Amino acid sequence: MTAIAMTTYGELPAIRISCPGGAEAIVTLYGAHLISWKTADGVQRLFCSAKSALDGQRAIRGGVPVIFPQFAERGNGMRHGFARVSNWRLADSGIEDGAGFAAFALTQADLAPASAQAWPHSFGLTLKVTLRGDTLALALDVRNSGADAFAFSSALHTYFLVDALGDVRIDGVQPGPLRISDKIDRIFSNVEGPVTLTEPGGTLTLTQEGFRDAVVWNPGAADSRALVDLEDDEYLRFVCVEAALIEAATLQPGAAWRGQHQVTAG
């Protein structure tokens, strides 16, 4: 039977979604951060660094960080925005058509004072995580609840766990297959069809709506050594394929935007 339960991950309060057959997802309230996704075969599909802080003091290195309202340094605010380092609330959870889900909410009132002062807009974010069999679905809703328009960028910065980076092939972001041997940080605009991530053990199929772009990222050997929350050789065990909205979108008062990202193992 599908079940939703409170748990902890490291030192962080979290929600566990468990489905018949063994599929499981864990989301921390800190950042509404999907930190673990296991398919029915018990295989972990998301990478999390062994050196990542799991105490709410800094962003988590791995899983699926929620990027909002700024992508990277493309703006005057905090790098990658405040959503991934804010404490969200569990807004809803349950079972729909046999799928387990949990929805997490963040508003201006939930922000730390420094974040609220730096980005003074009334907004509402909801991240819904749905698990059915070997399919994971994420839906991010952004609402403008204030009196003035605001612009934002967003991404779901997914770290996929792989056996060996050099064996990975990514299709669907460019005319031919993309292979990675070292550092990569590339934005692919207007990605329309499904993207597949293939390695000898199988394939993940990624689809997205609302998010117009895809980002493929891996720090490579040199940058890994410079990151305090990543072991020197851990870059060989993951690749980030991100559903993204890079160029800022503007929301008028009362308007809303939705970005969806779905991953199926098989």
Angle at 22 between CA 18 and CA 28, to 5 degrees: 35
Per-residue pLDDT tens digits for 165-191: 999 999 999 999 999 989 999 999 999
Single out the residue of 84, 81, 49, 54 nearest to residue 66, CA to CA.
Answer: 84
Which range marks the domain in which residue 10 is found? Answer: 3-265
Under the banding of pLDDT at 50, 70 and 90, the label for residue 77 is confident
pTM of the model: 0.96
- The dihedral through the CA atoms of 233, 236, 237, 241 has a sign that is positive
Residue 216 gets the label, from left (phi > 0), alpha (psi -120 to 50) or beta, of beta
Q: Would the pLDDT of 145 be above 90?
A: yes
pLDDT for 150: 97
pLDDT for 79: 87
197 vs 120, 171, 172, 205, 264, CA distance in Å? 39, 7, 9, 7, 10
pLDDT for 78: 87
Per-residue pLDDT tens digits for 54-64: 999 999 999 99
Domain count, the chain: 1
Q: Would the pLDDT of 108 be above 90?
A: yes
pLDDT for 147: 97
14-23, 81-90, 151-160, 213-222: which range is least confident on average? Answer: 14-23
CATH of the domain at 187: 2.70.98.10
pLDDT for 59: 96
Q: What is the mean pLDDT of the chain?
A: 95
